[in-house]
Each structure stands twice: as structure tokens, then as C-alpha cells.
Structure 1
Amino acid sequence: MKRLLSCLLLCLPALFATAQVTQDATRQLQIFEDDDYFNIWGRGTDRAYSNGSSIAYLYMKNKQSTFLDKWLLHQAGADGINVFEWDLMQIMITPNQIADTSYQPKDFYYAGALFATHALSSYNPIKKYGFRTEIVFGVMGPWALARETQTFFHNLINYQPPRGWENQVPNAPLLNYNFSFEVMLWNPVKALEVIGGLDAKAGTMTTSATLYSYLRYGLINPYFGDIDLKTATSRRFQLYVMARPQVSVIAYNALLQGGIFRSTSGNFEELAGQQRTHMRNFTIGMDYGIGIVIKRTTISYTQKTRTEWMSGTGKHSVGNITLTIPISRKTIPGK
């Protein structure tokens, strides 16, 4: 049944889940789903980073930002196009044998996280660069309810129940500050864009740095928008292919290492003492996809492949589907 559901979802038109600005929609609703059973090569799994579900509200505003928005969310200059965001996300990580009730020391820990993100994506259409800043706060461990979510959906689709959540990482708070910078590297014709990017994360959830390039080709509007709204939205139908190679250095990942309170849990410390695998500090990845935009609505599919996160577990691939729907007819805040 799960294979059937994933195949049906993969038949949908697709767009890479990117942060491309949509200038003619001041309010949008975004639904985001990662699942390692989504795989264009028919090699779906149910392990490692197994699932991530998110719902987000994106909006533009006229009034000046205050307090946290002013001091922590970075804008791309006076000409910047600013898209703010609130979203709620739950993710889960599991070992390969989810029907096994015993601890599996050569695989991933059971781990879940539930967190909110407040973000600003700011684009400078003149100089063709952009920033994205995020404040992330939430919880991991049993408080995140990942066990209950996975059990519910596996029962719903009549799939094998997960039986090893007694061995999950302990409860802990999550607080992160994330920053990304993107700039246009090459744009010889309207149909081709090559963008370079740097993403950095620091906090109790993840501390890492990623260097990447983003290539897309096809029927597209400018990635960083345009000061003229008509030019920015000239194509009401977009269709393109994309690729995003990347390299990452990871100093810390709470879900792979047990979180900041791991030493206070005697049960988890006992399990960790048996652990035969460890987090990799260096990974290489590739995202690729094909996309479609119809007017102001986008639907997306991306295949995301990474070298192994934990030693001995092998490379892993996750599919992503994202739907973004405009919920406002206004094109400019307050107009």
C-alpha cells in the first residue's frame, strides 16, 4: 500500500523546492513532505532520515520589522524583496529494521524532532543576491511525538509497525540560528541560471556549513525577482530542470548524537556505550528535479541523495514533494 501511495505522488508534476521569490503573491501556504520511500528509481526505503513533514505560512509586509525580526533576520539591502515565514515541522530518523524491538548498535538511533521556524528570505533583484535567515526552536526525543506519528500512519496504510522507539534519543530543547547566502554566478541567457550558495547552521540542533551551486534551465522567471513586477512575473507558466551539488561539514547533529541532555539519561548512555557507528563529519550530496509553475501555484518533486550520515550505513536518498498555494490576490503589500 505504501508503494502504491508513493507511486501516485510521483506522478504529480514537479518543481524543485527552492526559495525562488514569488512577487505576485503576498501570502502563501506551503505544504512540504520528505520521505525516503519516494524514489524515482524505485528504490524506496524506510530508514535513516525516514520522514519530514511541514506546513508553512509565507507573507510579505509593508511595515518595518521590530524586535527579533529587525535584529536577527537579515535583509538584502534597501531594494530587497522580503518574504517572511512561519512553519511547523516534524522529522523522524529510524534504523533499518523497524520491526526489531532490540537496540541496533550498528545503525541509526531512533530520533524525532518537532520544531517551529521563523524565517526571512530576502532577495536583491538589482545585484542578484539573496539572504535567508532562520530562528529554529523546538524539542527532540519523546516530546516530539515522532513515535506516535509513525505508528499512526503505518497502521493507516497497513504497513509494518515500528517497534523500537523505546530506544530513542532523550528529550532535549532545540534552538538554532541558520543563515544562507546565494549569488548569481552565471546568467548568459534568460533560460539558464547558475547560482552559488553557502549555508551555515549553529545551535543545539545542528552546527554545520554547506557549500553548493544551483543550476536550473528551462522556462523560468528570474530567481532573485525584478524591480519591475511585470518583468518578474512575465512567465505565467514555468517548466525547468535543476541540479544542486553540495558539500557539507558537520560538527554536531543532535538527532545523530543524542542531544545536549544525553548524559542525564542513564538508559541512553548505556545504549550509546554499545554504539558501533558514529556520525560522519563530511558529506557530499546532489539534489535534482524537474519543475512546473502555473500562475502563482507551484508543485514540486526533488530527489535528494547524500553520502552516509553515519559510518557503515551507506548513502541515502530522500524524495521531496512541496505544494505552494497563493492565498492572497494582492501583488504588492498594502496596494
Structure 2
Amino acid sequence: MSRQQPKPVLTALTAGMLGLMLVGPTTSVQAETRDKKGVLSVSYENDIFANQDNGYTNGVRLSWLSAESDVPVWLVSAANYLPFFETGAVKRYSLSLGQSMYSPDDISIPTLQEKDRPYAGWLYGSVGLISDSGSRLDNLKLTLGMVGPASLAEQTQTFVHETIGSTIPEGWDHQLNNEPGIILTYERKWRGLFEYEPFGFGADVTPHVGASLGNIFTHASVGATFRLGYDLPSDYGPPRIRPSLPGSDFFRPTSTLGGYLFAGVEGRAVARNIFLDGNTFSNSHSVDKYPIVGEVQAGVAITYGNTRLAYTHVLRSKEFVGQSGPEEFGAITLSFRF
């Protein structure tokens, strides 16, 4: 694509995202030296790891990150018009499907709990474009989905609780109404801002900034992740389900066996959270949210060959007035390169 007559940025980006599944791979000579493996990741987050069953109670996500060599030349050219993507950086695209659900503290109560958060579900799909320079990762993602009964969160939670013999949720009649949702998210991470590698061990610090805009989430975030391990793999930490400290579906092992311990912190300035503020276009239950939310996490990631397994334990500060305590949950992610 010539730079003499550039197309508008938004037009090029939109066309790129919508056309990802309709085009062939790049024919660039550089593709021959690039990573030819994509990454399939399955993420599961649940408060059962903290012996709880409330608040953000469950999240699942299936995602695919393309190989470096599979991104069409025209999409790379379109991405290069974006001022926050480095022209010479390697590009990948991502696709994901997921479901998240939220519930009040006591799910056995069938009546509306006005002082606790609403029942809510979020069923979504995302398409994204990633730019990796080796030391910096830029991630632009568009997410579309449905909140409300169409999210199928009620059926999912009821089925799981019946299967495992847990308390049956009785209050889903008071969940948020059906509402289509959209989120545009941008994140930037700097890998190896600080690095130290004595005797084969490695340590690094990866700061990040980001922002989301939409009727589901609107917030700005800043934070950092610290890693300590042996033969640190080339990644930006294990992925998480939003809103969260960002990681990356991408990883590229440097040896057969590797791994690291990690810890991170993030602060978010929250303008909108539909799961607390209630529906945008109709009346629904809501609570008064706090404008600032903090989150800390710690965990371990292990890579063996082309497989990565990670566990993260998360502590999130109170999100709304009257909340009984901070949220605590765990996250497991299994990723495969092929």
C-alpha cells in the first residue's frame, strides 16, 4: 500500500478487522524468517479458588493469536498508519470468544438485593491487532457482545451448580436487561524496561498503560508486572480476562523447559462499568461504584516445549459502596503453539 495516498485510519483499521478471515497470508519475503506458529489459549477464572461464590464469579475465554507469517501484507500496511503502532514491528491478529458472570453475595435469595451488585452476564467476541517490536507490545482490540439474558449466564451458572451439587442461584430474574455491548481497548506494554540475568536466572519489570471505551467498560489503567525465573520465555506475562492486568496470548519459548514467578499491580480510573452502573438504555438495578479500583496479582507460569500453563491469584479492591470486602479469585490459562 502506497504512503502517497493513505486511506483514513479508521476505515483501514475497520476493513482490516472485518476482513481477517477472508484473506490469505502475506507473501512478504520477511515472513520466511518470522514465527510460523499461532497460539491457542483457554482461560478460566473463578472465585472458587478463593472459596467464594460472589461478585465476579466466573469467566471463560477461548482465543487464537495468529502466526507472525499469517498476517496479510495489506493489513500490516493499514496498521502502519496508526500512530501508536511501530512501522517495523511484527504484527499479529487475534480472535476470541468468552463469557463472564457476576452475582451478589447471597445467591440463595430470590428477591432483589438493592444494596448488592446486580446479577449480570456478558457473552462476547473480540478481534484485535497486535504489534510487537521485541521490547514493546501494542494491542488494539474491538469487542462486541450481549449483556442480559442473551448472555446465557443464568443457564450456565445454574447448570454448573446443579452438576456439582452447589447452591442453586435464585435471583437471576433481577439480572440486567438485554443490551448489545461494544468496547474499544488499547494497551501498551514495555517488556524488559529493567532486566537482570545472573547465573541463568532472569528478572524483568514490564510496565503498561491502557484505556477502554464503550458502554460496557470505560476506564484508564496503569500498572506493572515483575517476573523472576529461569530461562524467561519471550512473552508479556500470562493472559487474563478483562478488566484485568494485561498479559499476552503470545509466548515464544527459548528452551524446552522454562518458567517464572510473577507479581503485578494495576490501578484503574473507572468512568463506566455496566455491571455496577446498570443498563445504559433502560432502567435496571445498579449500585454506586468507586471511581478508583486497585488490583494485585501473583502466580506462576511454566512452559514445556510449545505449551504454557499459568496460574494467577488475584485480589481486587472494593468496586462499589456497601461491598462486603475485596474480590478474590484465581485464573488458569493453558496455551498451545502450533
- Give the secondary structure class of the aligned counterpart of 1:135: strand
Q: Give deviations 1:147-189, integer Å, cap 9, x for gaps.
A: 0110111111111110100010111110110000111321133
Q: Deviations over 1:223-281 (max 9, x none)?
A: 47xxxxxxx64322112110111111100011211121233xxxx3xx55xxxx41111
The residue number in structure 2 matching 1:221 is: 233
Go from structure 1 to structure 2 and tell me whether the alpha carbon gap of 1:95 and 1:306 turns closer, same or farther (over 3 Å shift): same
What is the match of residue 236 of structure 1? 256
In the alignment, structure 1 residue 309 sits paired with structure 2 residue 319? yes
Assess if the C-alpha contact under 8 Å between 1:205 and 1:259 holds in 2: no
Report deviation, 1:321: 0.5
Quick one: which of 287, 292, 299 aligns to 1:282? 292
Q: Does 1:324 align with 2:331?
A: no
Q: Determine if contact 1:292/1:300 at 8 Å carries over to the other structure.
A: yes
User: How far apart are residue 323 of structure 1 and its match?
Assistant: 0.6
- Show structure 1 runs of 4+ deviating over 6 A: 71-75
Give the match for residue 196 of structure 1: 207
The answer as to 2:275 corresponding to 1:255 is: yes
Letter in 2 for 1:87: S
- Structure 2: unaligned runs, 5 residues or longer: 1-33, 237-251
1:135-146 equivalences under 5 Å are 135-146=142-153
Mean Cα deviation higher: 233-242 or 92-101: 233-242
TM-score by length of 1: 0.79
> Which residue does 2:193 correspond to in 1?
185
Shift of residue 83, structure 1, vs aligned partner: 2.8
Tell me, in whole angstroms, the C-alpha distance in 2 between the residues paired with 1:75 and 1:324: 27
Aligned positions of 1:122-133 closer than 5 A: 122-125=131-134, 128-133=135-140
* Counterpart code for 2:41: Q
- CA–CA distance in 2 between the matches of 1:30 and 1:74? 29
SS of alignment partner, residue 262 of structure 1: coil
Task: Work out the CA distance in 2 between the residues paired with 1:320 and 1:252.
Answer: 24
Distance 1:24 1:236, change over 3 A: farther
Is it true that 1:211 corresponds to 2:222 in the alignment? yes
Q: Pick 1 or 2: higher relative contact order, CA cutoff 8 A, min separation 6.
A: 1
Partner of 1:152: 159
Q: Which shifted more, 254-263 or 160-169?
A: 254-263
Amino acid of the structure 1 residue aligned with 2:65 = L
Name the aligned partner's letter for residue 321 of structure 1. I
2:172 is matched with: 165
- Distance apart, 1:105 and its partner CA: 1.3
Contact 1:56 1:85 in 2 (8 A): yes
In the alignment, the residues of structure 1 paired with residue 167 and residue 81 of structure 2 have an alpha-carbon distance, to the nearest angstrom, of 44
| 8 A Cα contact 1:74 1:120, kept in partner | no
Question: How many residues get paired?
Answer: 283
- How far apart, CA to CA, are the structure 2 residues paired with 1:163 and 1:24? 49
Cα-to-partner distance string for 1:85-135 (whole Å, 9 max, x where unaligned): 11111110000110110111121100111010111232112xx11111110
What is aligned with 1:245?
A: 265
Structure 2 residue identity aligned to 1:258:
G
**TM-score, normalisation: structure 2:** 0.78
* Identical amino acids, percent of aligned pairs: 24
Provide the aligned C-alpha RMSD in A.
2.3
Q: CA deviation at 1:75?
A: 7.3
SS at match of 2:301: strand
CA deviations 1:269-307 (Å, max 9, x no partner) are: xx55xxxx4111101110110110001101111011111
Q: How does 1:80-119 map to 2 (within 5 A)?
A: 80-119=89-128
Q: State the 1:76 CA deviation.
A: 4.1
The match for 1:227 is: none
Question: Using a 3 Å threshold, how does the CA distance of structure 1 residues 156 and 300 change in structure 2: closer, same or farther?
Answer: same
CA contact (8 A) 1:84 1:121 kept: yes
Change (3 A) 1:47 1:159: same
Give me the whole-angstrom Cα distance separating, in 1, the residues matched to 2:260 and 2:307.
Answer: 15
